[in-house]
Structure 1
């Protein structure tokens, strides 16, 4: 059985995007090379170790608008080149009823996300990551997430898209890892207690 992890950059007040889907507080979409090369490498290594990544439409559109060709851009750093290749190679599933085509080692699912995620978790294979607030919220409410990884930036944005959704019952967690990156960014990783 595969493990499912929800990992995102998040503000100290709990948002993955500020109002208007503004990600400027983290340096833009995806891994943030402006906060630290060390953090960017951590995200890149995570992508390299992920067996399957599950995307909601909005984050898919943001990532797929940049990373498929980022390694071909003038001035691309070795770290960006590595990340772009890892991102393209990583198997991905996009959950959306509004788009009809995906590329770069990706499959589109238009049906019920919880049913498909449950099926994918039961398969053999490497760890899965889930990204995107709406998709992760559905998996969270269904009790499918095994780990939560918050990469917390020292900024308050006062509103926007929350990392956590409203739940019907408590979810007890165990702290598994903490790590501090340059610029005061703190990673915390929690396992769901079952």
Structure 2
């Protein structure tokens, strides 16, 4: 069975963006050391345009072959003129407002997202599924998340978009598996769900 990994950037106080979902304040922390980690360990989590700019357009996918994201997260790519922002992955977008896909590589899921993710997890593949965001999609899939990779940025937001928007209160235990720290103050923690 494949795993669903919620790999996400957040502030020290657990927000993935400001109240409108903007997280561009975190971009200034993409220094050489941290970017080398991201491109080396998670090259598939960099957009196709970013991969070209960084000279890693042909880098193989190391951990994931599929990305799941919500409409708000996907809209960022659309607004930037990228209807298939992660063209090197199979792209799944949860949306009740998009009726047709703007790109052949993008599958729109308007119905039961949990069921679709369970189908994806049941597929045979050595690579996993990356839950990219946003908050509501993560909240809907909270019980399906097998692994968390939390990139904590040294910033306080005070309020904003939570990691799991709209999820009901329920305690789920995870085990810390790895911690990486960087000179820019970013800490990347990896957790596996305790079953």
**Shared fold (TM-score greater than 0.5)?**
yes
Distance in 2, Cα, partners of 1:56 & 1:181: 29
Task: Provide the C-alpha distance between the structure 1 equivalents of 2:69 and 2:32, rounded to a whole number of angstroms.
Answer: 24
Partner of 1:74: none
Matched, 1:127 2:125: no
Counterpart in the other structure of 1:136: 138
CA displacement 1:133-192 (0-9 Å, x = unmatched): 11111110xx21000111001110100101135444311111111101231011001000
**1:81-100 map, 5 Å:** 87-99=86-98, 100=100
Tell me the residue number matched to 2:30. Answer: 35
Residues 42 and 133 (structure 1), Cα distance of their counterparts in 2 relative to 1, 3 Å cut = farther
| TM-score, structure 1 as length reference | 0.79
- Contact residue 92 and residue 106 of structure 1 kept, 8 A: yes
Structure-1 residue corresponding to 2:49:
none
Distance of 1:167 and 1:189 partners within structure 2: 23
Q: Kindly state the Cα deviation for residue 64 of structure 1 after the two structures are TM-superposed.
A: 4.2
3-state DSSP class of the match of 1:129? strand
1:63 and 2:77 matched: yes
Distance in 2, matches of 1:91 and 1:42, equals 23
Q: Pairwise mapping of residues 166-181 of structure 1 onto structure 2 (< 5 A)?
A: 166-181=167-182
Q: 1:168 to 1:157 in 2, by over 3 A?
A: closer
User: In the aligned structure 2, how far is the partner of 1:106 from the partner of 1:41?
Assistant: 28
Is 1:53 matched with 2:67? yes
Q: Report the alpha carbon displacement of residue 91 of structure 1 after superposing the two structures with TM.
A: 1.2
Equivalent-residue separation in structure 2 for 1:193 and 1:169 (angstroms): 14
Q: Aligned pair in 2 of structure 1 residues 41, 181: CA closer, same or farther (>3 Å)?
A: same
Distance verdict in 2 for CA 1:153–1:117, change over 3 Å: same
Structure with the higher fraction of residues in helix conformation: 1
Q: Is the 8 A contact 1:102 1:108 kept in 2?
A: no
Give TM-score scaled by structure 2 length.
Answer: 0.79
Conserved 8 A contact 2:136-2:164: no
Q: In the alignment, is residue 154 of structure 1 matched against residue 168 of structure 2?
A: no
Q: CA RMSD in A?
A: 2.2
Partner SS for 2:150: strand
2:186 maps to 1:185 = yes
Structure 1 unmatched runs, 5+: 70-83
Count of aligned pairs between the two proteins? 171
Contact 2:68-2:131 at 8 Å conserved across structures: yes
